[in-house]
Amino acid sequence: MVAASDTIALGVIAEALRQQVRIPQELSVVGFDGIRQAEESVPALTTVAQPLRDIGRAALRIILRQVQGEVPDSRRVELATKLVVRESTAAPHGE
């Protein structure tokens, strides 16, 4: 299962473990954000890490340009993400 954030994914893992669902043998869990707690959880959470500092910098640049009266070139900013595979996911079937 893929959660909208690492925080939600960590909650899913906690509840799955309370329900005695084995992670990742019975349920693979992936989060999205790349927060520090993902690495520290047990099992460590697989996550799609976002470049949070770069997101902040890009947002600040856009805000400063708007304050100066400039119109943004685009309403979309695309930054690279990275899949960080850890213990909360099993290998695909057949591998």
pLDDT one digit per residue (tens) for the chain, 95 residues? 999 999 999 999 999 999 999 999 999 999 999 999 999 999 999 999 999 899 999 999 989 999 999 987 777 888 999 999 999 999 887 65
Cα dihedral 86→87→89→94 (10° resolution): 100
pLDDT of residue 76: 85
* The CATH fold of domain 6-84: Rossmann fold (3.40.50)
**Annotated domain spans of the chain:** 6-84
77 token code pair: 């900013």
Using DSSP's 3-state secondary structure scheme, residue 46 falls into: strand
pLDDT of residue 25: 96
Q: DSSP code of 90?
A: P
pLDDT of residue 73: 78
Residues 6+ apart with CB under 8 A from 84: 34, 38, 46, 47, 48, 49
pLDDT of residue 95: 58
pLDDT of residue 92: 83
